[in-house]
Amino acid sequence: MTFETLGLAPRLVRKLAEQGISEPTPIQTKAIPHALAGRDVMGIAQTGTGKTAAFGLPMAHNLLGMGSAPEPKSVRGLILAPTRELAKQIADNLAAYTNGTHLKVNLVVGGASLNAQATRLHRGTDLLVATPGRLIDLIERKAVRLDQTRYLVLDEADQMLDMGFIHALRRIAPLLSKDRQTMLFSATMPKLMADLSKTYLTDPIRIEVSPPGKPADKVEQGLHFVEQAGKTTLLIEHLDAHRAEMALVFTRTKHGANRLAGALEKAGYAVGAIHGNKSQGQRDRAIKAFKSGELKVLVATDVAARGLDIPGVRHVYNYDLPNVPDNYVHRIGRTARAGRDGRAVTYCAPAEMSELKAIQKTMGREIPVEGGTRWSGSQGETSRRGNQSKPSRPNAKSRPRRRTGGRKAA
């Protein structure tokens, strides 16, 4: 099967060839013909399988045949994504597919200038990639109209639901043309997702190319049982073994990401950090430096678990285990991309045993143990209680209370 036999416009096929893309992936092979035919599509495939091209190429093909330019402020195709990183990745891919054509691709996400985005949208847009919150901001400012939107894509829809974007979807959907094609793509299919498809899709074709929770085949996985306090030392030991190779390190919290990045910088690493408290400019600069090789290590929260497509990432470290089991699969899917091999190493502290069990249940297999001894249930429970307890403080009666003049001490 080739992109030509799938029925795509020759100019799109040529653009793919220029990027070294000659054969469609399974999700593309199955989804593109239905999308070209106008069917609503519900696609389920693991991360890194080419979902963006599966929905982006058919939309571009159909829009190329329209001829006329979009009206001011109007949008013809709308792609909603849960995070800024994923939205930018999608927009970059769409821009590459349509480079040299008359199609206009725009990106609107939080953390960037609202006025600048409104100005770009005023000229009309063929393909708009947006995060739901920022799109609603622009709708409220009457900077964009969706009544001519004939194509709607919900990408990584399961994460959108996890992040509470269902309310935003309910506000956006009624503004779109009733005569539209809707495509929903996701790596997992929870019950709420099925309910979502019934609400927004009409007689969809369901396409599933890999079991939910299945990690990328080429990712070599390893597990180390280590106390929380010993994780940084172990991480530095592992990073020292491949200083010339790129590594992506996941933490659970924003503060933890900053703290770990600082420790790695002191250890002599060129390191950056991205998380929800960073501005969009800071996040973009860190990712750009990481892609170029200026940074060898990038520390991130789960904002980077989906949407980062950097083929050079050879190593992924789960410094902290994710609270959502499926995010483990998305995290390790940041390596072994574009047919390359990759390695994912996970550190498990006593308090994380329940998260580990949930991850292994989701995958249907255990992660090979490479270091340490599996924590017993009592160790994990004790550690959890310790994490939940407040730091010990001297008894208030045992020391005089210092007055601060009615103001709280800094």
| pLDDT one-digit tens code per residue, 286-313 | 999 999 999 999 999 987 777 677 888 9
For position 379, what pLDDT does the model report?
A: 61
Tokens (6 digits) for 348: 């498990």
Condensed to tens digits (0 to 9), the pLDDT of residues 111-158 reads: 889 999 999 999 999 999 999 999 999 999 999 999 999 999 999 888
Sign of CA dihedral 24, 28, 34, 37: negative
Res. 87: pLDDT tops 60: yes
Res. 319: pLDDT tops 70: yes
pLDDT band of residue 397 (cuts 50, 70, 90) is very low
For position 395, what pLDDT does the model report?
A: 38
Residues in the chain: 410
Spatial CB neighbours of 348, under 8 Å, sequence gap ≥ 6: 223, 224, 225, 226, 321, 355, 356, 372, 375
Beta strands in 98-231 (DSSP E): 105-108, 125-130, 151-155, 181-186, 205-208, 219-225
Q: Which residue has the higher pLDDT, 257 or 378?
A: 257
Share of the chain above pLDDT 70, in %: 88
Res. 394: pLDDT tops 60: no
Stretch 4-29: mean pLDDT = 93
pLDDT band of residue 214 (cuts 50, 70, 90) is low
For position 312, what pLDDT does the model report?
A: 87
Q: pTM for this structure?
A: 0.70
* Lowest-pLDDT range of 21-25, 281-285, 402-406: 402-406
Stretch 69-74: mean pLDDT = 96
For position 192, what pLDDT does the model report?
A: 72
For residue 8, give the DSSP letter: -
Res. 380: pLDDT tops 60: no
Domains and CATH numbers, the chain: 3-208 (3.40.50.300), 219-388 (3.40.50.300)
For position 157, what pLDDT does the model report?
A: 86
Nearest CA to 94 among 183, 15, 5?
15
What are the strands of the beta sheet with 205-208, ordered from one edge? 105-108, 125-130, 75-80, 151-155, 181-186, 41-44, 205-208
